[in-house]
């Protein structure tokens, strides 16, 4: 009695559905048109590259958040982890005169330890992810501050004993934060994670866990293992973001990664709706970051005073989120 429904009706055009799927992309085009007509320089190759460069770090960090969201979690600690990685990698060069490889390994190791701690507390101790990573955000912020003794680390800085730091940042490392490498790193991260989440078994498992954890468990999926992996990946990308940041500014300012958190969270959430995915996804996150980047850049070009910028930025974000979440039942 295979009586599947054949009585299908023609899909009718639904404005809300359309906006849900393409709203973010349309908004991006509208912004481009507005900014370009206000200032033609907006569309120059230089400026476009500069936008892409400016969103690289946000995107990389947001990719980490996207992965934690895909298993139904949330990682707020990424900003601090980026700060920590930034501090460690610069200090390895400047304070300890280590080669690039050691500096990178040290930064990633520290970040992964944080990820492991997050995963343990969430999976085993069962603290809700939002609360735990909020706590860890403060802890790691403090750890990074303590590690740098509350100071900015930079080449030739004055050490506490009055001498000058002698270590130099390796020239290869300094390349990472420059065009085109910084943009390439971002694009590779987006593409790799997108493929991982959409086309592999592991990505499928993560979405299944995010969709219904109990159903996933009873389907025989090793839920805890994948959650651990998700938080490790999240920490990894946060560290990558912090390292690229380090290379770009060549210093480690206090809490340097902190300001990226909110933009990254916004990018990941805006990304839910892009092309109607309806769930966290790497491509959408990238589009979300592009939206934020264009906005920031365009506002600067239109000489909106810096103190008013957050108002406009927040408003447009709210608008983007509105088209995302205003779906017909």
Partner 1 sequence: MTLTMTDITIEFPGVKALDRACFNTRPGIAHALIGANGAGKSTLMKVLSGAYTHYTGRITINGNEVTIRSPKDARNLGIQIVYQEVDTALIPYLTVAENIMLNEFVANTDKKTLVDWKTIHTKAKDILRDLNVQLSSRTLVSDLTLAEKQMVLIARAVSTDCSYLILDEPTAPLSFSETEQLFRVVNDLKKKQVGVVFISHRLPELFDICEQITVMRNGEFVIQEAIPDTSIARVVEQMLGEPLEEQFPSRTSTPKDVRLQVEHLADGDKVKDVTLNVRAGEIIGIAGLVGAGKTELCKLLFGATSKKSGRVAIDGKEITLKTPSDAVRRRIAFVPEERRKEGVLVEESVVTNLTAASVNNFLKVFSFLDFKKERSKAGEMINALGIKTPTADTLVQNLSGGNQQKVAIGKWLVSDADIYIFDEPTKGVDVGAKKDIFDLVSALAEKGKSVIYASCELAEVKGISDRIYVLYDGQITKELSASSTNEEELLYLSTGGK
Q: Which residues bind partner 1 (CB under 8 A)?
A: 1-5, 7-9, 11-12, 14, 199-202, 204-205, 207-208, 211-212, 214-222, 278-279
* Cis, peptide link before residue 18, omega less than 30° from 0: no
Closest contact distance (angstroms) between CB of 272 and partner 1 is 11
The dihedrals phi and psi of 4, each to the nearest 5 degrees, come to -75, 155
The dihedrals phi and psi of 164, each to the nearest 5 degrees, come to -95, 145
Closest contact distance (angstroms) between CB of 184 and partner 1 is 23
Task: Extract the tokens encoding 296.
Answer: 């920031």
Nearer to partner 1, 259 or 278 (CB): 278
Nearer to partner 1, 21 or 53 (CB): 21
| 66-81: burial string, b at 16+ Cβ within 10 Å, e else | bbbbbbbbbbbbbbbb
Closest contact distance (angstroms) between CB of 159 and partner 1 is 49
Other Cβ atoms less than 10 A from the Cβ of 121: the count is 18
User: What are the Cα distances from residue 113, in Å, to 96, 238, 252?
Assistant: 21, 12, 20
CA 217/CA 39 separation, integer angstroms: 55
Closest contact distance (angstroms) between CB of 328 and partner 1 is 9
CA 293/CA 229 separation, integer angstroms: 29
Nearer to partner 1, 175 or 202 (CB): 202
Nearer to partner 1, 70 or 80 (CB): 70
Closest contact distance (angstroms) between CB of 12 and partner 1 is 8
Nearer to partner 1, 44 or 219 (CB): 219
Nearer to partner 1, 156 or 219 (CB): 219
> What is the enclosing helix (H) or strand (E) of 117?
helix 100-123
Nearer to partner 1, 1 or 46 (CB): 1
Closest contact distance (angstroms) between CB of 302 and partner 1 is 40
Which candidate, 167, 175, 144, places its Cα nearest to that of 248? 175
Maximum Cα–Cα distance across the chain: 87
CA 7/CA 200 separation, integer angstroms: 34
Interior angle at CA 280, CA 130 and CA 214, nearest 5: 65
Closest contact distance (angstroms) between CB of 63 and partner 1 is 20
Nearer to partner 1, 128 or 222 (CB): 222
* Burial bucket for residue 188 (CB in 10 Å: 0-12, 13-18, 19+): exposed
Closest contact distance (angstroms) between CB of 14 and partner 1 is 8
């Amino acid at each position: 009695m295979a009586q599947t429904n054949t009585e299908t009706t023609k899909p009718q055009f639904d404005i809300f559905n359309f906006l849900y799927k393409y709203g973010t992309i349309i908004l991006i085009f509208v912004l481009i048109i507005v900014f370009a007509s206000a200032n033609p320089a907006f569309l120059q190759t230089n400026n476009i590259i500069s936008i892409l460069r400016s969103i690289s770090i946000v995107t990389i960090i947001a990719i980490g958040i996207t992965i934690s969201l895909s298993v139904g979690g949330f990682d707020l600690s990424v900003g601090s982890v980026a700060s920590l990685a930034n501090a460690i990698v610069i200090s390895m060069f400047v304070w300890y005169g280590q080669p690039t490889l050691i500096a990178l390994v040290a930064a990633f190791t520290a970040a992964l330890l944080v990820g492991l701690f997050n995963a343990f507390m969430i999976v085993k101790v069962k603290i809700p992810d939002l609360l735990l990573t909020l706590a860890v955000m403060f802890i790691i912020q403090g750890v990074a501050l303590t590690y740098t003794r509350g100071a900015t680390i930079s080449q030739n800085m004055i050490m506490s004993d009055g001498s000058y730091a002698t270590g130099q940042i390796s020239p290869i490392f300094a390349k990472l934060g420059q065009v085109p490498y910084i943009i390439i790193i971002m694009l590779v991260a987006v593409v790799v994670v997108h493929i991982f989440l959409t086309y592999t078994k592991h990505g499928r498992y993560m979405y299944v866990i995010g969709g219904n954890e109990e159903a996933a468990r009873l389907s025989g999926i090793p839920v805890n293992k994948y959650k651990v992996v998700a938080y490790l990946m999240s920490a990894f990308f946060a560290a990558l973001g912090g390292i690229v940041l380090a290379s770009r500014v060549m210093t480690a300012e206090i809490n340097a990664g902190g300001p990226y958190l909110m933009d990254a969270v916004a990018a990941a959430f805006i990304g839910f709706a892009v092309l109607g995915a309806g769930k966290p996804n790497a491509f959408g996150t990238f589009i979300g970051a592009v939206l934020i980047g264009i906005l920031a850049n365009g506002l600067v070009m239109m000489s909106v005073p810096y103190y008013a910028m957050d108002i406009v930025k927040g408003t447009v974000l709210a608008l983007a989120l509105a088209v995302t979440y205003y779906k017909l039942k």
